[in-house]
């Protein structure tokens, strides 16, 4: 126990203690931010999956049950734009 206290006093006296403390705090902060980012990503994916599960399934046999969008293109003749 006395060796640990002696080592701590030497580290404090030389300033190395503060370097070790800053590195330890930096690592702890990095781990914390990493856990927060991963958990936010997981929560986003879970909420997205839950919203997808709540939506009715796409069934093309039911009118209005398909999510496909069709666009009918009909070229217009120049007389359609005649304002006279």
Q: What is the mean pLDDT of residues 56-70?
A: 58
Q: Would the pLDDT of 65 be above 60?
A: no
What's this model's pTM, rounded to 2 decimal places? Answer: 0.49
On the question of pLDDT at 10 being above 90, the answer is no
Q: What is the DSSP letter of 59?
A: -
Per-residue model confidence (pLDDT) at position 16: 80
For the chain, give the percent of residues with pLDDT over 70. Answer: 69
Least confident range from 11-25, 37-51, 67-81: namely 67-81
**CA-wise closest residue to 54 among 66, 46, 43, 42:** 46
* Residue carrying structure tokens 């006093």: 9
Q: Residue 52 CA to chain centroid, in angstroms?
A: 17
Give the burial string for 62-73 (b: 16+ CB within 10 Å, else e).
eeeeeeeeeeee
pLDDT score of 55 = 67
């Amino acid at each position: 126990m006395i060796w640990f206290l002696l080592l701590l006093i030497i580290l404090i006296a030389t300033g190395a203690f503060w370097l070790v403390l800053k590195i330890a705090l930096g690592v702890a902060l990095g781990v914390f931010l990493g856990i927060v980012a991963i958990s936010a990503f997981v929560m986003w994916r879970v909420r997205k999956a839950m919203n997808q599960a709540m939506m009715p399934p796409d069934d093309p046999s039911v009118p209005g049950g398909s999510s496909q969008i069709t666009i009918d293109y009909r070229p217009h003749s120049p007389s359609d734009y005649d304002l006279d």
